[in-house]
Chains A and B, each alone.
Chain A
C-alpha cells in the first residue's frame, strides 16, 4: 500500500477508474474527502475494479444510498456488512448480516433493551458515571480525551447493558477493538490474534449465559438474560451468539466513542458554533445529531446485489458488492445545506445517514443520542473550554471512522 503517495495525491489527478475509496490509509490520513467530492460530482455510482477487498461499487449520493437501503430484496446483507470477506473457517452470524425473516425475529428479541422506556431508567446511571469521569479529568494539563473520557464512558455503558462484571469492563473494549481491527479489513491486527480474542469473548459470555439462564427475565433486563429467555434467540449456536455479541459490543462502543471525541474536535474547529451552544443550552438536542452526521462513525455499510440493478445509467450485476458511503452522502450538497459546515441549529438535524435507513437502521440510535446529550450537558456545566492542542491521530480503517488520540487541555469554569 502506498501510504506516502496517498498523502500528497490530488484526488483530481488520477483517472476516475483508479479511485479506490476503500483504502484504509485515506481515512487514517483524513484525505478521503476530495475523492468522495469528485465521485459525487463526476461518477456518483462508481465501480472500483481492484482493491484489497476485491471489486466493489461505491454509492456516494444521499438519495441513491436511500434507494439502496430501502430495497433490501435487491440488496442483501447476508454475508456481512463490511467490504472484507470473512475467513471461511471463522464465520460469525448476526442479525445485521441477515435478511428477513431471520433478521426481524433476532432483532426484535433484543430491541427492548434500548427501548425508550428502558432508556429513561438508564439515564440517571449514565449521568452519574459521566459526572464522575468528567469531575476527575485533569484541569490545565494535556491528556488524551479518547482514553480518558470517550472510551471510559462507552465501556461503562456497555457493561451496564450486559450486566457485565464491572471490574473486567476493559475487556469489552479490547474485544470490540479486536473485532474491528483485523488485517482482512485493512487494520493492523493479524487474523489469528483477532480470532483468539473473539473466542475468549465467547468463552466469557458463554459462562454469563449459563448463569443468566437461571435468572428471572421479568426482573433482569440485561441483554444476555433477554437473549437467553427469548424463544427466537435462546437456541442460537455459539458462532451466532458470538456474532450478535460482537454486533452489540461494536455497535455500542466504537460508534458512540468516536462521536464523543468528534464533538470536542468539531466545536474546536467551529468556535462560533461552540459559543452559540454555550449561550443557549437548549440547542444541545440539535447539536447531538449534527455531531453524529459530521462524524459519521461508520463510513459505509455493504450490500450484495441479488439481481442486476440499474441506477444512474449503470448496471450493478447480481453478486456485486456495493458500499453505501454514508460519509459521502452526509456531505451531499443537494440534500444538506452547507454540508461541510458544522451548524448547531439546523432545522432538521436528524435527517442524516449515520444510523442508516430501512430495516437495518441502527437499533441503538436513541441510546447513542442520549449518551451524547448527557455528556454535553455535563461538559457545558463544568468546563469553560476544551482546547484540542494538536491534530488528532485517526484510526486506520475505511469502515470505523474514529480517533486513537485527541490531545486536549481543559479549562474549568
Chain B
C-alpha cells in the first residue's frame, strides 16, 4: 500500500496508507485527515480539496486537466504547487508523496 504524508497548515503530520487507485482526496476523507472538505465528492467541481504538492513530486504526476485548471484558477491563493487532490490517483510510484494542506478551503 503506498503511503501519503499529509501535513496540516499547523504542521501536524498524518501518515496514511492509501489503496492503489484511490484519489488522494479519498485517502484524506476516509481517514479523517482535517483540512480537505471535498464538497462535490470528487467530481472536480468545487475545488475544496485544494492541496499543495512540491515541484519535485509534481514531476511524477500528470499535468492538471483542463477542468482541473479551470477550477484551480478560481482560487486567488493558487500557487505553482496547487492541485486538486480528487484528481490524483494513488499508485506505488507515488509511495511517500508529501501533501501540504492549505490554511483554508474556499
Q: Give chain A's interface residues, CB within 8 Å of chain B.
A: 66, 69-70, 72, 100, 104, 107-108, 111-112, 115-117, 348, 350-351, 355, 357-359, 361, 366
Contact = CB atoms under 8 A, between A and B. Distances in A.
A358 B45 CA distance: 4
A112 to B, nearest CB: 6
Contacts of A351: 39-41
A350 B37 contact: yes
Interface in B62-79: 67, 70-71, 73-74, 76-77
A351 B46 CA distance: 10
5 contacts: A70-B67, A117-B104, A357-B46, A358-B45, A359-B74
Given A70-B67, A361-B46, A107 B74 contact: yes
Given A115-B104, A350-B39, A359-B70, 11 more contacts: A66-B43, A70-B45, A100-B70, A104-B70, A111-B106, A115-B106, A357-B40, A357-B45, A357-B46, A358-B45, A361-B46
Secondary structure class of chain B's binding surface, majority of residues: loop
Interface-centre pick from A107, A355, A358 (highest chain B CB count, 10 A): A358
Nearest to B66: A73
Contacts of B103: 116-117
Interface string B71-106: 101101100000000000000000000000001111
Q: SS class of chain A's interface: helix, strand, loop or mixed?
A: helix
Interface of B: 37, 39-41, 43-47, 67, 70-71, 73-74, 76-77, 103-106
Nearest to A63: B43
A25 B69 CA distance: 41
A290 B36 CA distance: 19
B45 A69 contact: yes
Contacts of B67: 70
A111 B76 contact: yes
Given A70-B43, A357-B46, A116 B71 contact: no
A108 B76 contact: yes
Contacts of A117: 103-104
